[in-house]
């Protein structure tokens, strides 16, 4: 039977505030680390934004190749990259949820 992969929640279901990691657990040896840890920036991006980054790396940073692979125009890919850059800047400042 295939394991169901659950998506990591990023926001509180009650108030929509950003969630933080409180506990990490090693499945192999049972070590547990607890505290209050911020999620890495990349995990706070949407699935679509993360997919764009993966495609960008796989295309060696070639927006032309990304446009070809995705079947969209170069300006569209450039706009998606610009939007992603803006989103990352907001997350770095702490202004985005």
Q: Which residue has the higher pLDDT, 3 or 24?
A: 24
- In whole angstroms, how far apart are CA 91 and each of 30, 40, 43, 55? 33, 10, 11, 21
Q: Is the pLDDT of residue 90 over 60?
A: yes
Q: Is the pLDDT of residue 18 over 70?
A: yes
Quote the mean pLDDT of the chain.
Answer: 90
What is the pLDDT averaged over residues 27-52? Answer: 92
Q: Identify the pLDDT of residue 97.
A: 46
Spatial separation of the C-alpha atoms in residues 9 and 19, rounded to whole Å: 8
What is the pLDDT averaged over residues 46-58? Answer: 95
Spatial separation of the C-alpha atoms in residues 77 and 37, rounded to whole Å: 33
């Amino acid at each position: 039977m295939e394991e169901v992969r659950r998506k990591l929640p990023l926001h509180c279901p009650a108030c929509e505030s950003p969630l933080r990691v409180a506990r990490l657990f090693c499945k192999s040896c049972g070590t547990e680390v607890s505290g209050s840890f911020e999620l890495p920036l990349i995990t706070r991006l949407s699935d679509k934004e993360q997919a764009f980054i993966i495609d960008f790396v796989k295309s060696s940073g070639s927006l032309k190749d990304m446009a070809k692979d995705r079947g969209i125009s170069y300006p569209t890919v450039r706009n998606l990259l610009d939007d992603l850059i803006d989103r990352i800047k907001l997350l770095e400042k702490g202004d985005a949820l």
